[in-house]
């Protein structure tokens, strides 16, 4: 007997998001449906006003749709109360933002530990997992540096480590290279490539074709609707394998 198939990491059906009322009403999303399977690397693209940021906020459980259903890792988000939503965000979704969102005057290590503090993880395990995540992004020599002692690229790598430390079902990255120079962009995308190769599920919001070229699948939004959904071969071929300690951290 074959084992039952696991549910997709994301399952979205007929997602609608409206703002305002009457003549001022704006339909930011117009009935979006999509599945994201485990291990997929999806880039969501679109011009300003296309609805991609609205979709990102809903996928990250930071906003709620006007109608439609959204399941993450099999859990129906629409049926969760605020406390349950907070737990789901902490344990199943890892966020990487364009502006890094690191806390000043806290070391890189302390910043990475933070989601585990909120999750009630003990100090010894918290420290070990945070160090492993920082090793994963190549920052073992910067664990005690504060954000203002790090370059923009290093700060974003800390943010990636923070997103990974809870071993989430989904990594959500919102324009993660938007504030970075070319070299730092390459460093962050190389990390994303390695994570994807190791089986991590990634959804990335971007308006840059060069960034989207790293993904396995591209969805393009126009006026709140999906106008393109295609598979592609990521650029540069298969990235290098993670070290054993990194593979363990991903799992």
pLDDT of residue 22: 84
HSE (CB half, 13 Å, CA atoms) of 127?
A: 3
Residue 250 has pLDDT above 90, yes or no: no
Instruction: Map residue 220 onto helix, strand or coil.
Output: strand
pLDDT of residue 21: 86
pTM for the complete prediction? 0.88
Whole-angstrom Cα distance, residue 30 to residue 3? Answer: 36
Write the pLDDT tens digit of every residue in 1-50.
554 567 899 999 999 999 988 888 899 999 999 999 999 999 999 998 89
Whole-angstrom Cα distance, residue 250 to residue 191? Answer: 12
The pair of three-digit structure tokens given for residue 198, joined into one six-digit string? 């190791």
**Residue with the two structure tokens 């959904």:** 229
What are the backbone dihedrals phi and psi of residue 11, each rounded to the nearest 5 degrees, phi first? Answer: -135, 115
Write the pLDDT tens digit of every residue in 62-121.
898 999 999 998 899 989 998 999 899 988 999 999 899 999 999 999 999 999 998 899
Tell me how many degrees the CA angle 204-209-212 measures, rounded to the nearest 5. 30
- For the segment 211-239, the average pLDDT, to the nearest whole number, is 89
pLDDT of residue 171: 96
Whole-angstrom Cα distance, residue 234 to residue 212? Answer: 9
Whole-angstrom Cα distance, residue 131 to residue 188? Answer: 18
Write the pLDDT tens digit of every residue in 188-204.
999 999 999 999 999 99
Say if CB 130 and CB 160 are below 8 A apart: no
Residue 236 has pLDDT above 50, yes or no: yes
Write the pLDDT tens digit of every residue in 174-190.
999 999 999 999 999 99
The full set of domains in the chain, from first to last, is 39-64+81-235 (3.40.50.300)
Closest alpha carbon to 174 in 82, 76, 79, 52: 52
- DSSP string for 34-84: EEE-TT-EEEEE--TTSSHHHHHHHHTTSS--SEEEEEETTEEGGG--HHH
Whole-angstrom Cα distance, residue 37 to residue 71? Answer: 12
Say if CB 172 and CB 56 are below 8 A apart: yes
């Amino acid at each position: 007997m074959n084992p039952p198939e696991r549910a997709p990491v994301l399952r979205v059906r007929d997602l609608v998001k409206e703002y305002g009322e009457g003549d001022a009403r704006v339909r930011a999303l117009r009935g979006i449906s999509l599945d994201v399977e485990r291990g997929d690397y999806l880039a969501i693209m679109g011009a300003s006003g296309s609805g991609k940021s609205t979709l990102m906020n809903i996928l990250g459980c930071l906003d709620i749709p006007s109608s439609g259903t959204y399941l993450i890792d099999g859990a129906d988000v629409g049926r969760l109360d605020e406390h349950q939503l907070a737990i789901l965000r902490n344990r199943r979704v890892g966020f990487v933002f364009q502006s890094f969102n690191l806390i000043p005057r806290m070391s890189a290590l302390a910043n990475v530990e933070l989601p585990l503090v909120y999750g009630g993880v003990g100090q010894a395990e918290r420290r070990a997992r945070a160090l492993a995540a920082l090793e994963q992004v190549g920052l073992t020599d910067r664990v005690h540096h504060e954000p203002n002692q790090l370059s923009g690229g290093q700060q974003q790598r800390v943010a990636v480590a923070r997103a990974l430390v809870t071993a989430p079902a989904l990594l959500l990255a919102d324009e993660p290279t938007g504030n970075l120079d070319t070299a730092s962009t390459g460093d962050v995308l190389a990390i994303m490539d390695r994570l994807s190769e190791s089986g991590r599920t990634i959804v990335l919001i971007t308006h840059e074709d060069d960034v989207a070229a790293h993904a396995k699948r591209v969805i393009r939004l126009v006026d709140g609707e999906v106008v393109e959904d295609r598979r592609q071969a990521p650029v540069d071929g298969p990235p290098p394998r993670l070290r054993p300690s990194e593979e363990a951290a991903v799992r």
